[in-house]
Structure 1
Amino acid sequence: MALHTRDGGLVMPNAWDDLSALMLADAGFEAIATSSAALAATLGRSDGRHEVTRGEHLEHARLLGRLTGLPVNGDFEDGYGDTPEDVAATVEAAVEFGTIILTTRADVPDSHLEAVFTKERADGRFPDPSKQELEQTYMAVGLTMMAAAELGVEATPLEGFDPTSVDKAFKIRESGHTTTVLLALGYPDPERVYTTPISRFDADQLFTFI
C-alpha cells in the first residue's frame, strides 16, 4: 500500500513470463503485474473465457513474485465467478498464493464502450477518429507477436503498403473492415546467409533507466 500512497507515481509494468519479470525487476521497477491477455497469448489460448484456469493464473503470479521478490498485481480475468462469493474465493486463493492485489474485469456492454469512445472524442484524445480503432489493432499485433515468439515463429509487422489494393485483393471492405497493418509470420531459412548489415544504436543510447 505504501507504493500507492507515497508522493509521485507508481509505474507497474506487466510481465508475461519469468524472463520478462526478471528483466523488469533488473530494470528497477518496484512492483510488477500479471496480464491475463498476455498469459493466455503465451499459452496459445483465448483470454476472458477461462481457457487459462484459475490455478494456472495463481501459479503464474506466485512464480513471478518468487523469482523477483516484488509485489505482484494479479489480473485474473473476471475473477472466475458470476457471484460475489465466487470472486471472493478467487481473492482468498490469491492472498494465499502471495499475490498482493487482485484486479477483476467484467464483461463490458456496448453502451459503456460507446460512452468511453464519446468521452475520448470529446476530450480530443484522438483528433483523427480513425486512430481510435488503431490503438486496439496494434495491441492485438503486439500480443500476436508475443505468442509467435513463444512458439518459435518469426513475426514482422509491415507498413508502407497500399491498403486499398490489399482490401480489394482479399475483399476486406465487403466485411466492413479495412487493412491497417500486415504481419508476416514464418521460419527463417537456415540455408540462406543474410549478409546485409544491421544498423542499431547501442542500448544506452535508446533506453534511460530511472
Structure 2
Amino acid sequence: MRSDQHTPKHITWIAAGTVVALSLLTACSGGTGGTAEPPASGNPGPSSSGTSSSTANGAPKVPAPLPTEKLIANPCSALSDDDAKAVGLAAPGKLNDITPRGCDWQSADPDLKANGITLSPITQNTNGLADTYSMKSSQAYFEETQIAGYPGVFAAAHDSRKTGVCDLVVGVTDQLSVVIVASIVRGKNVENPCAPVAKIGTAMINHLKTES
C-alpha cells in the first residue's frame, strides 16, 4: 500500500474490505440448521440450558449473551466516544452504506489518518460464530482467540495481514457475531494489524457489558 494514500481512498477501501469479509462470512448463513432465533430482538436469553461448551461446527459458546439491540440499530454505538479515544480512534464513528450497516472509525493521530477500522454486526448469520466456523476450510487463515472472555476468530479468505489488513469475528451472542476489519497503512502496526483490532474488540465487549 502506498504511503501517500489519501484518506478518502482509504475509507472506500475499508468499506470494500468489509464487504468482502461479510460476503465470505455469510456464504453459509443458516447452513447449520437454521434453528437459532435471529438477533433482532436485542438481548436473547441464555445460550443453552445444557453443559456443552460449543455450538454447531465446533464454535465456542459465548459465556453470557450481550445486549445487541442498540448495536444492530446503530453499529457506531459499539464504542462510546471515550472508548474510541482510549484505543486511539477519532470520535465519533461514521455509519457506512455497507449491508449490513457498519461503522467506520479513523485513527485520532493526525499522522495516521489513513488508518482505520470498520465494525459490522453480521445479522445475516443467525447462528452467530458457528456460521463463520462453517467456512473454516475456505479461509487463508483461521486463528481462534478470546476477546475479553468472548470467543473470536481471526479469519479471511485472503491473507493480507502483512499489508495491514486483519479481520476479526467475535461472538456476542450464540446468534450474532460482529466482524471488525482493520486497515493499517502507516505506522508501527502495518505488519501487525491484528493487535490493534483485538484491542478494539475488547473495548466493544467491555462497552456492551455496561449495557446489560
Q: TM-score, normalised by structure 2?
A: 0.23
Computing the radius of gyration over CA atoms, which structure comes out larger, 1 or 2?
1
Question: Which one has the bigger helix percentage?
Answer: 1
